[in-house]
Homo-oligomer: A and B are copies of this chain.
Amino acid sequence: MPVPILKQGTYLIASIQAAMSDTDAQRLQDDLMEQVGRFRSTGIIVDVTAMDVMDSFAARSLRTISHMTSLRGAATVIVGIQPEVAFAMVQLGITFEDITTALDLEEGLAHLNRRGTGVGRTDGR
């Protein structure tokens, strides 16, 4: 099932559903890259609240999305990582490295608003 992407002002919000197949992840990458160009988006929020598992493929996809979109001038924030998921990620050694994360959608939007717009940095800051 493709991940729905909402456009809100200059931001894009993608809400990942409970399970994200590898195909969905790939498609999410392509869709976000396409929409960043089309809507001149400066920020992307990927909401993973509904995900009950974050495997290494999903984590890598999110890292790729963050790096690719920052090269196009959009900052990505991952929001809603559940406590169990965070625990499992740390135990399994899955890291988001330099990707920005926030507690929930609200904090993610606040971060993007504070950050200003239209300029990417590949180190994710």
Contact surface of A with B, Cβ cutoff 8 Å: 29, 33-34, 36-37, 40, 64, 67-74, 77, 79, 81, 83, 85-87, 89-91, 95-103, 107, 110-111, 114, 116, 118-125
Please give, as numbers and ranges, the residues of chain B lying within 8 Å of A40 by CB-CB distance: 103, 107
Asked if B122 and A97 sit within 8 Å, CB to CB, the answer is yes
Give the complex CA separation of A123 and B124 in angstroms: 11
Q: How many copies does the complex hold?
A: 2
Please give, as numbers and ranges, the residues of chain B lying within 8 Å of A125 by CB-CB distance: 121
Give the complex CA separation of A117 and B123 in angstroms: 18
Please give, as numbers and ranges, the residues of chain B lying within 8 Å of A70 by CB-CB distance: 101
Asked if A101 and B119 sit within 8 Å, CB to CB, the answer is yes
Asked if A111 and B121 sit within 8 Å, CB to CB, the answer is no
Give the complex CA separation of A99 and B73 in angstroms: 11
Asked if A107 and B101 sit within 8 Å, CB to CB, the answer is no
Please give, as numbers and ranges, the residues of chain B lying within 8 Å of A83 by CB-CB distance: 33-34, 37, 68, 72
Asked if A102 and B73 sit within 8 Å, CB to CB, the answer is yes
Expressed in whole angstroms, the minimum distance between the Cβ of A63 and any Cβ of chain B is 8
A-B complex: 8 closest residue pairs judged by Cβ atoms: A73-B103, A71-B86, A73-B102, A107-B118, A101-B120, A68-B86, A33-B83, A96-B122
